[in-house]
Amino acid sequence: MNGDLDVKSRFADPAWRAAIIGGLAAFPVTTALYAQTGHRIDLTPVFFGGFIAGYLYGDGSMTRSQVAARVGFIGSLPILWMGSDMLVIVSDLASPLWFHLIQIAFAVVFIGCFFAVAGVTAMIGAWVGDWLSDRIGRGRLPTSIS
């Protein structure tokens, strides 16, 4: 299997392990909050996912900010669901083709900006988690998976 796609090798790296744990802690809550409202994605779970990753991840091959950016990406994946909803709404509008293309471009830019904001939100959470771990002691990541 290709080394880039091997999940076990990702979990062997402490940076990926912390990012996956933080991102998977945020993803279901972010998804549930969007499913509940249908029009709003809350980044509070992404902040707490970053907090978890910052608390768990010590000094390693990556900076805390890079780990938090991964958490932000994983935790905010429900924006793709919101983006597909936006595209459905845009396609239902009676407008010229050029206007549809502009709306689609704006939707793509919006999604990209949302991922960037989610990454920054997770970074702030990771900084707080790292600060707390320096004060009370760092948590330990699981050492292996079955």
Distances (CA, A) of 46 to 75, 80, 133, 138: 5, 15, 18, 20
CA nearest 18: which of 50, 46, 57, 51?
57
Domain ranges of the chain: 7-79+117-136
Would you give per-residue pLDDT tens digits along the chain (146 residues)? Answer: 455 556 666 666 777 888 888 999 999 999 999 899 888 888 999 999 999 998 888 766 568 888 889 999 999 999 988 888 888 887 777 888 888 888 889 989 999 999 999 999 999 999 998 888 888 876 665 555 55
Q: Contact at 8 Å (CB) between 12 and 60? A: no
Determine how many CB atoms are found less than 10 A away from the CB of residue 102: 13
pLDDT number for residue 40: 86
Determine how many CB atoms are found less than 10 A away from the CB of residue 29: 17
Question: What is the pTM for the complete model shown?
Answer: 0.79
